[in-house]
């Protein structure tokens, strides 16, 4: 079977490759094809672009002292090692303190647990577990990640997780909007300024119909206009299917 003739398989394998869940011979075969296929390279780049911002939401992972003891043993870093060994230890200490690196490691587990569970590996999971098929990274006017929106159409809900607490005046509210390809924006509800909130997700609010999510700053309780926001749009992000 030629995977280059199967768009769904290309997407699935590219996602698994980026996450690091494509192992062994399958990974080696994929890398062989990757070297000669522009289509695969574009698919891989697409997954990297989609997942990279989510690293900002991953918790900081600090390795335990036992990890570094094992690293030292594997690299044969003893007290009598030469200066090269000292350099190696300095490298690993620097790696431990590299926040971006550990956020990257945390990204795999966080993304698998909250965003891509059951979508990439085509395995049947417990029916009680929410299944996410839509996602949006909401950013501010400086393109900095502010919140992650994940949608579960089977349960009819969308969950918004803020990266950091937002300073919102007591007489203001943050309101989430679904922006369609045509027509007026549709309110999805008010956001919590200090954490995570789950809101109803009506049927039909798919990325095909709603390519963009946006957050506006509104009077307390939300926009008084049922046809759309009255305050400024302060965050926005593409609503995509994974």
Residue 131 has what pLDDT? 58
Q: Look at phi and psi of residue 51 and say left if phi exceeds 0, alpha if psi is from -120 to 50, else beta.
A: alpha
Tens-binned pLDDT, residue by residue, of the chain (242 aa): 677 888 888 888 888 887 777 788 888 888 998 888 999 898 888 887 766 655 555 555 555 666 667 666 666 555 544 454 455 444 334 433 443 433 443 444 334 434 443 443 343 334 444 555 888 888 888 878 888 888 888 889 999 988 878 889 999 999 999 998 888 899 999 998 878 899 999 888 888 888 899 999 999 999 999 889 999 999 998 888 87
Distance of alpha carbon 161 from alpha carbon 149, whole angstroms: 6
Residue 199 has what pLDDT? 93
Other C-beta atoms closer than 10 Å to the C-beta of 183 total 10
- The SS3 of residue 175 is strand
Residue 192 per-residue DSSP state? P
Domains and CATH numbers, the chain: 3-55 (no CATH), 134-241 (2.60.40)
C-beta separation of 87 from 54 below 8 A? no
- Phi/psi of residue 235, each to 5°? -135, 150
Q: Give the burial class of 1: count Cβ atoms within 10 A of its Cβ; 0-12 exposed, 13-18 middle, 19 or more buried.
A: exposed
Residue 223 has what pLDDT? 94
């Amino acid at each position: 079977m030629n995977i280059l003739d199967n768009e769904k398989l290309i997407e699935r394998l590219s996602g698994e490759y980026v996450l690091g869940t494509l192992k062994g011979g399958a990974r080696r075969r994929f890398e062989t094809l990757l070297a000669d296929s522009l289509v695969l390279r574009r698919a891989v780049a697409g997954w990297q672009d989609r997942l990279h911002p989510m690293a900002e939401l991953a918790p900081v992972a600090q390795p335990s002292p036992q990890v570094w003891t094992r690293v030292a043993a594997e690299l044969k870093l003893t007290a009598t090692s030469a200066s090269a060994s000292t350099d190696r230890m300095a490298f690993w200490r620097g790696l431990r303190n590299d926040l971006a690196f550990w956020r990257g490691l945390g990204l795999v587990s966080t993304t698998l647990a909250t965003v891509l569970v059951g979508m990439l590996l085509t395995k049947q999971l417990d029916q009680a577990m929410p299944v996410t098929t839509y996602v949006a990274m909401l950013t501010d006017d400086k393109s900095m990640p502010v919140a992650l929106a994940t949608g579960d159409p089977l349960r009819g809900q969308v969950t918004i997780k803020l990266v950091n607490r937002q300073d919102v005046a007591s007489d203001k509210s943050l309101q989430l909007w679904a922006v369609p390809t045509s027509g007026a924006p549709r309110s999805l509800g008010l956001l919590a300024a200090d954490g995570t909130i789950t809101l109803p997700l009506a049927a039909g609010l798919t990325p095909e119909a709603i390519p963009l999510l946006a957050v506006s700053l509104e009077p307390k309780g939300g926009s008084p206009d049922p046809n759309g926001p009255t305050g400024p749009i302060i965050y926005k992000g593409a609503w995509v299917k994974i």
